[in-house]
Structure 1
C-alpha cells in the first residue's frame, strides 16, 4: 500500500499485524484464482506482506509485487525464499508513478490499495497500471465501500471508501469497466482494538477475521 501521509514501514513493523494482513489472499481474489480468471504475468499492486503474490506463485504464476514499504517488500521476499517460490519477485515503488514494466502484465490485482492512495493520485495510479498492462489485460480492484471505514463521519481523518459510481468513474477514464459487484473484505481481528469504534460491530467469521463491505470491480485494457 502507499499513502504519503502515513509511515508504511512503521505500520508493517507493528504488532499485531495491520488489519489487511490476514495470512492469506482476500477470499474474493482467491476465488478468481480458483475460477481460472488470472493470467500471467501478474502485477500485485500494493502487495504488502504479499500472501496474494505467494499464493499465485505457488500455483505457477509469474507475479511481481510492488509496494511503497521497504519493510513489507523485505518480508515478502523472505517468505518467497523460505517457500522456494522463484516466480514471485518484489520491488519497492511508488505505485502511482512507477516505470519499467510497460505492456508486461496480463492481470493486475488491487487488494484494498485503492482507498489508501493519496488524495488526488487516483488518475496517476490508473495511468501507471494501464501503462504496465498488456493489451487485453484484466484488472480487478477489491475496494472498500463508502462508510465501511467509518468515513461517514466528516470529522474522521484518513482513508475512505467509495460509492459504486465513484469507483467506476475513477477507473473508467482509461480502463473498460466490465462489472462492479458487492464484495466483502476481510480484516485481521487482532487489529480491531487499534481501529476504533467504527468496527466495533463488524461481522466476524469465527476464524480470526472481521468483514467489511466493499466492491469488486472488473475491467480490461482495450486491445487497441
Structure 2
C-alpha cells in the first residue's frame, strides 16, 4: 500500500496521464443516472467530482494524495462549487465507515489495487452504498496491451468481484481519456481500452 501511495504521489507531482482537465466522457454518457449523495472514490484533482456537483449532486471526494486534494480544493473554490467536500483518507478503510451514498464513481482506483486489497476495497464500497446505490466504475480492460499503467481487468473479473451484493446492470467497452501529449505508443491510439461497470447495490432479504 505504501508503494501504491508513493506511485500516486510521484505521479501528481508531475501531470498524471489520466489528469485530463475535464470529466471523463464515459461518465458524461451516463450522467443522468448519477444523483443524490455521491462518493468519488479516488477523486484525484477533482474534475469528475466537480462536474457532478455542478449537476446537483452532494459530492464527497476521497483521496489519500494531499497534493491532488489541494488542487481539487482550489478548483472548486475557483469555480464556486459549494456542494463538494474533499476528504483525505484511504479507500481501503471504507469497511469501517459510517458514510452512506446514493451513487459512487470510481475513475481508475479499483484497477490500481492488487487482488487482495481489491477485495477489501469492494467490500468497502458495499459498506457505504445505500440500497439502490448506483456504482459507475471505469477500469482498464484486458484489450489494452500490457505495459504502462495499472492492472488490466477482464469482464469475468468484474462479474466475480461484484457478484455479492450488487446487480450488474451493464459492462460496456469504453475508452479511458488520457492526456493528448503522451508519447506515441504509451497507450492504444484513441485512449486505453477500458470497461465501464454499472452496478446497483442490493441486499438479499433475510430468511
Task: From 79, 82, 89, give the equivalent of 2:85.
Answer: 89
Cα RMSD between the aligned structures? Answer: 1.9
Tell me the distance in 1 between the aligned counterparts of 2:126 and 2:70.
26
Task: From 45, 48, 55, give the equivalent of 2:51.
Answer: 55
Tell me the distance in 1 between the aligned counterparts of 2:131 and 2:162.
16
Residue 116 of structure 2 corresponds to residue 120 of structure 1: yes
Q: Deviations over 1:153-175 (max 9, x none)?
A: xxx69732111111211122332
Kept after mapping to 2: 8 A contact 1:63/1:88 = yes
CA shift for structure 1 position 100: 3.6
Aligned position for 2:175: 184
CA shift for structure 1 position 198: 4.9
Tell me the distance in 2 between the aligned counterparts of 1:52 and 1:69.
16
TM-score, normalised on structure 1?
0.82
* SS of aligned partner of 1:106: strand
Tell me the distance in 2 between the aligned counterparts of 1:84 and 1:157.
36
Tell me the distance in 2 between the aligned counterparts of 1:157 and 1:27.
21
Aligned position for 1:25: 23
What are the equivalent positions in structure 2 for 1:65-214 lying under 5 Å apart?
Answer: 65-98=61-94, 99-102=96-99, 104-148=100-144, 150-151=145-146, 159-190=150-181, 192-193=182-183, 197-199=185-187, 202-204=188-190, 211-214=191-194
CA shift for structure 1 position 147: 4.5
Tell me the distance in 2 between the aligned counterparts of 1:203 and 1:143.
17
- Which ranges in structure 2 are unaligned for 5 or more consecutive residues? none
What are the equivalent positions in structure 2 for 1:41-52 lying under 5 Å apart?
Answer: 41-52=37-48
Kept after mapping to 2: 8 A contact 1:68/1:92 = yes
Residue 13 of structure 2 corresponds to residue 13 of structure 1: yes
Q: Once superposed, which parts of structure 1, at least 4 consecutive aligned residues long, lie more than 3 Å away?
A: 99-102
- Which ranges in structure 1 are unaligned for 5 or more consecutive residues? 205-210
Kept after mapping to 2: 8 A contact 1:45/1:109 = yes
Aligned position for 2:198: 218
Aligned position for 1:207: none
